[in-house]
Amino acid sequence: MADVVLTDPDMGVGALVVDALQRLGIEIARSDAPAPAGQSAAAEVWLERLDEARTGGLVVNHCRLRAGGLSRRSLEMAERVLAAASRCETLHRVVVVSSGQVYGSGAELPTFVTEGHAPTERPGASATDIADLESAAARFAAARPDVSLTVLRVAETVGTAPHGLLADHVLQPGGFVTTRFGYDPQVQFVTAHAVAAAIVHALTEDVAGVYNFAPADAMPLSAAIRLVGRTRVPMLRTVSLVGGILRRMEPWSHELGELLTFGRALDPQRAVDAGFPEPSSAAAAIAAAVY
Amino acid sequence: MSTEGRRHDRDRGDHLWVVEEAADVVRPEPRVTLPEDAADTDRWGRSEEVVRRVGPAVDFLYDRWFRTEVEGLDKIPAGGALLVSNHAGALPPDAVQIMWAIRRELDRRVYMMGEHVFGRLPVAGWMFRRIGGVEADPSTARKLLGEEGQLGLVFPEGTKGTGKHWSERYRLQRFGRGGFVRVAMDAGVPIVPVAVLGAEEAMPIFGRLDGLAGMLGLPYVPVTSMVWLPVKFRIRVLDPIDVHLGHSDDHTQQMVSEDVRAVIQRTLIDLLAQRRSVIWG
């Protein structure tokens, strides 16, 4: 009988949460596991069975956020599991792992973005997917006000499976990392371990609400690239006259281009006040990624 | 510390599982030793190294070119405060003069709180942040001034002050809607008015190419001296104004804003009356 259901349990953060919960003696069910007795592995069927098993917690994790957004399977699974979970009567805690990408990136953002800041008005593929994920969480919250729902907007996550546009870009194979000429924005990173600890905290404490999860500090992108032993290759920002053509030739998506230009840092104060384990500094996190 | 989870009776307890420290049950992350130069900036992006590198050039401007004299630095409170000053000159040197006076005399950092437009500019935006520039945002002010006890510097006239014609010198422009008052109130810090004489003449504007400015998307394109003229700078720090009043309505905000503008304007006229020569002071 399962205590906690976890989506995307195989990689990075998911694998660490599974390991931690198993060490606590908490039984894990995988939403993507084959259902017994030859039934469909669809999330609804799986959750109906879990309801019978008196499931207490649900972690909606998604393994990777790429330039094209979340993987279709991750987003679809998250939405279906949340919809089905609203009918699971034994559920007490739900944790949705979201991303700071929901705020986008731009000169108008404050140095440290708080949870009260509105989502970006110019969403790219990733921000749109993250907004869809949070909308599904909001629908769940409306349907089940009795369940403690925690939404974690995590910073760029590094570890065995980098999670985030900038983390992916900085840690890409090869010795070079392209950047915008004339810009060196403030950025943040957290380790997958820290995010896993935050998920365990959200499952075991009553901390309903939306939280930024990030280090207290931020660092220049150039310093992060230096720490992982790569070389910066600054590229000129395309100007409007020829931008239409040149932008197609840029090696970045629009969202990654914005991140390389303006960066983004999250204000984690609300999470700190709620007792979430404080992650190590941005520099320590990115350095640990290539340890 | 125990890392064993314990399941509560769901009908009786608030907790499903009890964990003493969530971080302890997750496998530890690799411990790394960071090189000393891992990140030479503070959390706001200010780099002491960059400030140190530009130091000799600023020292020259401060000591030799503008021969800056400052008075009233003792009026700056020990904790956080919002310095509010007049602003002038096509390429205004007043911010750096104020920041440098406080750095040299009080050994304190000053963060210049500017408009978001700075962040859009290549190279200049980067430099702005490295020498202590941040965006004038209420949440930033709360953290920087209220929690960290730092000094912020704002120029409420904005580009209206720097873009004004030579004929309007010594006349302070509107202080907008007084948003800086709200920033200080939210951060719970006093406002410290600062009057600067000299910036008006350092790079005066004799005309503006508004058509070209519109095409380039710039606030103004000035007809100016192109270089800073060696005028004498005088900075006077005035008595702090406590705005931690609990009143945060627009009317109070506007009233305080007008008071601050008036006291800086009076002081500017006073400094002007004492001056015998633009160059020699």
Instruction: List residues bridging with B7 in a β-sheet.
Output: B17
Radius of gyration for chain A, computed over Cα atoms and rounded to the nearest angstrom: 19
> Which of B187, B58, B88, B172 lies closest to B134 in space, CA to CA?
B187
B164 or A70, higher pLDDT: B164
Mean pLDDT comparison of A27-41, B10-24, B237-251, highest-scoring range: B237-251
Cα A281 from Cα A215, distance rounded (Å): 5
The answer for residues whose C-beta is within 8 angstroms of residue B20's C-beta and 6 or more apart is B1, B2, B3
Average pLDDT, chain A: 84
CA separation (Å) from B219 to B115, B117, B129? 12, 10, 20
Q: Is the pLDDT of residue B230 over 50?
A: yes
CA distance B118 to chain A (A): 8
pLDDT at B70 (0 to 100): 96
Q: Is the pLDDT of residue A104 over 50?
A: yes
Q: Are A101 and A255 in contact (CB under 8 A)?
A: yes
Q: Is the pLDDT of residue B18 over 60?
A: no
Tell me the mean pLDDT in the region B180-187: 90
Binned at pLDDT 50, 70 and 90, residue B92 comes out as: confident
Q: Is the pLDDT of residue B248 over 70?
A: no
Q: Are B19 and A204 in contact (CB under 8 A)?
A: yes
Binned at pLDDT 50, 70 and 90, residue B269 comes out as: very high
B16 and chain A: CB distance < 8 Å anywhere? Answer: yes
Cα A201 from Cα B93, distance rounded (Å): 50
B2 and chain A: CB distance < 8 Å anywhere? Answer: no
Least confident window among A78-87, A264-273, B79-88: A78-87
- Ordered by where they begin, the domains of chain B are 48-274 (3.40.1130)
Instruction: List residues bridging with A164 in a β-sheet.
Output: none
Nearest to B27 among A16, A25, A54 (CB): A16
pLDDT at B164 (0 to 100): 85
Binned at pLDDT 50, 70 and 90, residue A226 comes out as: very high
Q: Is the pLDDT of residue B14 over 60?
A: no
Tokens found for residue A288: 């640990």
Binned at pLDDT 50, 70 and 90, residue A179 comes out as: very high
Binned at pLDDT 50, 70 and 90, residue A66 comes out as: low
The residue of chain A with its CA nearest to that of B4 is: A24
> Strand, helix or coil at A176?
strand
Amino acid at the residue A147: V
CATH number for the region A4-288 comes to: 3.40.50.720
Tell me the mean pLDDT in the region B62-67: 96
Nearest to B18 among A17, A191, A204 (CB): A204
Q: Is the pLDDT of residue A266 over 60?
A: yes
Express as a percent the part of chain B with pLDDT over 70: 89
pLDDT at A48 (0 to 100): 64
Q: Is the pLDDT of residue A1 over 60?
A: no
Cα A98 from Cα A62, distance rounded (Å): 8
CA separation (Å) from A60 to A115, A235, B4, B5? 19, 37, 24, 21
Q: Which residues of A touch B7 (CB under 8 A)?
A: 3, 25-26
pLDDT at A240 (0 to 100): 46
CB contact under 8 A, A107 and B117: yes
Least confident window among A153-167, A263-277, B2-16: B2-16
Burial label for A238, CB within 10 Å (0-12, 13-18, 19+), is middle
Q: Which helix (H) or strand (E) holds A189?
A: strand A189-191
Tell me the mean pLDDT in the region A120-125: 84
- Backbone phi, psi, residue A264, to 5°: -170, 140
Q: Are B111 and B150 in contact (CB under 8 A)?
A: yes
User: Helices B250-274 and B179-187: crossing angle, nearest 10°?
Assistant: 110
CB contact under 8 A, A111 and B140: yes
Could you give the count of Cα atoms lying within 13 Å of A10 in the half-sphere of its Cβ? 5
Tell me the mean pLDDT in the region B72-93: 93
CA distance B33 to chain A (A): 8
B38 or B276, higher pLDDT: B276
The residue of chain A with its CA nearest to that of B31 is: A288
Tokens found for residue B203: 């790079």
Q: Is the pLDDT of residue B10 over 50?
A: no
B123 and chain A: CB distance < 8 Å anywhere? Answer: yes
Q: Which residues of A touch B39 (CB under 8 A)?
A: 219-220, 223, 282-283
Q: Which residue has the tokens 């999250």?
A: A266
Q: Is the pLDDT of residue B118 over 70?
A: yes
Looking at this predicted complex, what is its ipTM?
0.83
pLDDT at A63 (0 to 100): 57
B177 or A199, higher pLDDT: A199
- Backbone phi, psi, residue A217, to 5°: -110, 180
Cα A55 from Cα B17, distance rounded (Å): 13
CB contact under 8 A, A16 and B32: no
Cα B39 from Cα A31, distance rounded (Å): 41
Q: Is the pLDDT of residue A190 over 80?
A: yes
Tokens found for residue A249: 């030739």
Q: Which residue has the tokens 């920087």?
A: B144
pLDDT in tens, A41-54: 555 566 666 566 66
Cα B164 from Cα B64, distance rounded (Å): 27
A238 or B213, higher pLDDT: B213
Express as a percent the part of chain A with pLDDT over 70: 81
Q: Which residues of A touch B123 (CB under 8 A)?
A: 182
Tokens found for residue B106: 């009080």
Least confident window among A211-220, B89-98, B190-199: B89-98
Q: Is the pLDDT of residue A143 over 60?
A: yes
> Which of A188, A191, A240, A238 lies closest to A217 in space, CA to CA?
A188
Nearest to B27 among A25, A180, A193 (CB): A193
CB contact under 8 A, B32 and A291: yes
Q: What is the DSSP string of A64-90?
A: -EETTEE-HHHHHHHHHHHHHHTT-TT
Radius of gyration for chain B, computed over Cα atoms and rounded to the nearest angstrom: 24
Q: Where are the domains of chain A?
A: 4-288
pLDDT at B247 (0 to 100): 58
